[in-house]
Chains A and B, each alone.
Chain A
């Protein structure tokens, strides 16, 4: 009887993971993003959000309860009158003008911001790269028209264009803000995909596929598309960061999510009347935006290290 090999050969570790684990920004970014995704998913479990019921007029504009550790005023505010116990975690980040817990709102804001950032980017990535792919592959008048179209869009400062799109819809809100942010990013993908396609189109393997009689659809989607994915993925991660900031900016000037939605930019807009005396209403939502954006930027850098080892940046 011949001996059969029972132990499988040790599976070789995926090259992607091997490289990714060596990239410090990548790891750091992935951890931050994972943390926020986890918080967003678990938000209803950690602390259910109830915009109407959470209003607590006894604690309007109360300072963060964690500051009771060093702040006498906060200590008195959070001392339970009957038992005399200090409730350090009653409102860890303080409360806003209606007595709503800022920590809860920031937590639920993570859901909204991640949703907007990811959906807007996906929409822009799909539309933009499809158009860029077609323009780059076929060239001719289609390419000229698309190029002109993106030149015109890129001549606007991005946020102004987004403001314009929201203004037209006359329906400020999350969905509109998301679409506006997404449209603004389309030309970026269009140009990126186009420039990469121009390089790939002339390569031998695509020419060979054409010579073997592959249809144009097959050439585009089977041979060209997989080779332009890397730069698009890297740009995608970086775009989520931009989309998150732009959506928050729209919220901040009152054209994004509307109150009482706990969107971070909208919370910052609300805080403008109170932040001089109650800075915590402004500090924590902004910190959440900064961290999320930082996470996606780091992740993008890490992915670039992995997917495009030639780039030095």
Chain B
């Protein structure tokens, strides 16, 4: 087990190095340069070149082939060196250190992703369980239909639809941002709903909650549909197993058979799938955040790409990939915990 964890960790680390190299090369292949993007089209080439040189963007990418006596005086080695010293650089436009910006952006995205997950699980799990227990009933058909439509849903359209109906037509919920203007709160976790509760500012918590509902539903619909689907098929499979029949034959109450024997075992694939949804959630967050002007990672990256803000794009995407990789790692390792039959050699 221990050896497996170490090997798995090394592999994750290697993948992250690969990701950083890819992102690094990608970002620099985007036509245009940060200085011109910042100074505008009418800046003289000399001024732009000077600014780029000041930021070190005139240096070779990976190896300083111009002067081999100092081979690591190139952009990537310098960037890695910076990273190892805990410095992710600063945004070119904002001049705010990327690490600081991450500290406010990341909790916003996490709050959104958690909201989406809560929505997905609170609807998807019961729907899947109900569908499996009452197979071929009206409930089953309803749950199956909803999950089919759900997985086919374009997130960005659902976002527009929700904000039109609930914010414009009914006027029940705010259409964008995280808090109403005029309200603010000293962050503890950076997740406003939680911060409001922690600091006893119930008005802020309520307001944050209302802002969170629509984006969470938009982002959570696909995971909800997938959860319902997997739960249903996994539970159906478990219910057909011999040990469930044995438990029934022993005369255990039906409730205890389904909940204790079947459901617990049926949830293993659900954990996997839910965990693997994390990557999709971060991707979906880019779209959801642009629709709801949610100031998280997605909106930040989206803006950064149009501004050619190299440090921000690099930092943000590598960070997103880090999160996805770590979650995948945890999902893998949780198998052994959840299913004692699995041994890693």
Residue of B nearest to A252 (CB): B156
User: Is there contact, CB below 8 Å, between B151 and A297?
Assistant: yes
Interface contact A289-B157, CB-CB below 8 Å: yes
Residue from B19, B155, B233, B284 within 8 A of A156 (CB atoms): B19
Among residues of B, the one whose C-beta sits closest to the C-beta of A156 is B321
Residues on B with beta carbons closer than 8 Å to the beta carbon of A289: 154, 157
**A272 interface residue (CB < 8 Å to B):** yes
Interface residue A294 (Cβ < 8 Å from any Cβ of B):
yes
B residues in contact with A253, CB < 8 Å: 286-287, 290, 302
A151 within 8 A of B: yes
- Complex CA–CA separation, A265 to B151 (angstroms): 18
- CB neighbours (8 Å) of A219 from chain B are none
Q: Which of A245, A265, A297 contacts B148 (CB 8 A)?
A: A297
Q: With a CB–CB cut-off of 8 A, which chain B residues contact A265? A: 154, 156
Residues of A within 8 A of B15 (CB): 148, 151-152, 155
Least CB distance, A167 to chain B, in whole angstroms:
5
Residue of A nearest to B157 (CB): A286
CB atoms of B321 and A158 under 8 A apart? no
Which residue of chain A lies nearest to B18 when distances are taken between CB atoms in the complex?
Answer: A152
Using Cβ atoms and an 8 Å threshold, which residues of chain B touch A298? 148
Q: Which A residues, 138 to 165, have Cβ-Cβ distances below 8 Å to chain B?
A: 148, 151-152, 154-160, 163-164
> Considering the chains assembled together, what is the distance between the CA atoms of A12 and B175 in angstroms?
59
A293: interface (CB < 8 Å)? yes
Within 8 A of B (CB), among A239-275: 241, 245, 248-249, 252-253, 265, 268, 271-272, 275
Interface SS, A side: helix
Q: Which residues of A contact B19 (CB under 8 A)?
A: 152, 155-156
In the assembled complex, the CB of A302 is this many whole angstroms from the nearest CB of chain B, namely: 12
Distance, CA A101 to CA B250, complexed state (A): 67
A169, B317: Cα distance in complex, Å: 19
Q: Is the CB of A276 within 8 A of B168?
A: yes
Is residue B55 contacting chain A, with contact meaning CB distance below 8 A? no
* Consensus secondary structure, chain B interface: helix
Residues on the A chain within 8 Å of B152, using CB: 241, 290, 293-294, 297
How far, in whole Å, are A53 and B15 apart by their CA atoms in the complex? 52
Q: Which of B23-31, B63-71, B83-91, B254-262 contacts A (4 or more CB under 8 A)?
A: B23-31
Interface size band for A: 35 or more
- Tell me, yes or no, whether A282 is within 8 Å of chain B by CB: yes
Closest chain A CB from B17 CB (angstroms): 9
Quick check: A282 and B286 within 8 Å, CB to CB?
no
For residue B25, which residue of chain A has the nearest CB?
A168
B155 contact set on A, CB distance < 8 A: 249
Partner of B279, one of A157, A252, A272, A282: A157
With a CB–CB cut-off of 8 A, which chain B residues contact A163?
286, 302, 305
Determine if A290 and B287 form an interchain contact, defined as CB atoms under 8 angstroms apart. no
Q: Which residues does A use to contact B, with CB under 8 Å? A: 25, 148, 151-152, 154-160, 163-164, 167-168, 170, 241, 245, 248-249, 252-253, 265, 268, 271-272, 275-276, 279, 282-283, 285-286, 289-290, 293-294, 297-298, 312-313
Tell me if A249 and B156 are in contact (CB < 8 A).
yes
Contact of B219 with A by CB under 8 A: no
Q: Judge whether A157 and B154 touch: CB under 8 Å.
A: no
B148 touching A290, Cβ below 8 Å: no
Chain B hits for A293, CB < 8 A: 152-154
The 5 closest A-B pairs by CB, nearest first: A157-B283, A286-B157, A170-B31, A152-B18, A294-B152
B325 at the interface (CB under 8 A from A): yes
Which residue of B is nearest A254, CB measured? B306
Q: Complex: how many Å from CA A271 to CA B161?
A: 11
- Are A155 and B321 in contact (CB-based, < 8 A)? yes
Contact with A157, one of B32, B153, B286 (Cβ below 8 angstroms): B286
CA distance A297 to B229 in the complex (A): 13
Kindly state whether residue B74 has any CB partner on chain A within 8 Å.
Answer: no
Chain A residues with Cβ below 8 Å from B153 are 290, 293
The yes or no answer to B4 lying at the interface (CB within 8 A) is no
Alpha-carbon separation in the docked complex, A289 to B160 (Å): 14
Given contacts A276-B168, A282-B160, A160 and B154 within 8 Å (CB-CB): no
A114 to B180: give the CA distance in the assembly, Å: 42
Q: How far in angstroms is the closest Cβ of chain A from B30?
A: 5
Cβ B317 vs Cβ A160 within 8 A: yes
Interchain residue pairs with CB less than 8 A apart (10): A25-B148, A148-B18, A152-B15, A152-B18, A156-B317, A156-B324, A157-B282, A253-B290, A282-B160, A290-B154
Q: Are B283 and A158 in contact (CB under 8 A)?
A: yes
Chain A residues lying within 8 Å of B23, measured Cβ to Cβ, are 164
Kindly report which residue of chain B lies nearest to residue A155, judged by CB atoms: B321
Q: Within 8 Å CB of A272, what residues of B?
A: 160
Cβ-defined contact, A282 with B18, below 8 A: no
Is B35 part of the contact surface with A, judged by Cβ < 8 Å? Answer: no
Q: What would 20 more interface pairs be, CB under 8 Å, given A154-B279, A282-B161, A297-B151?
A: A151-B15, A151-B18, A155-B16, A156-B279, A156-B324, A158-B283, A163-B286, A164-B317, A167-B26, A168-B29, A245-B154, A248-B156, A249-B287, A282-B157, A282-B160, A282-B164, A294-B148, A297-B152, A298-B148, A312-B236
Q: How far is the CA of A276 from the CA of B320 in the complex (A)?
A: 33
| Given A159-B286, A168-B29, A297-B152: A312 touches B164 (CB 8 Å cut-off) | no
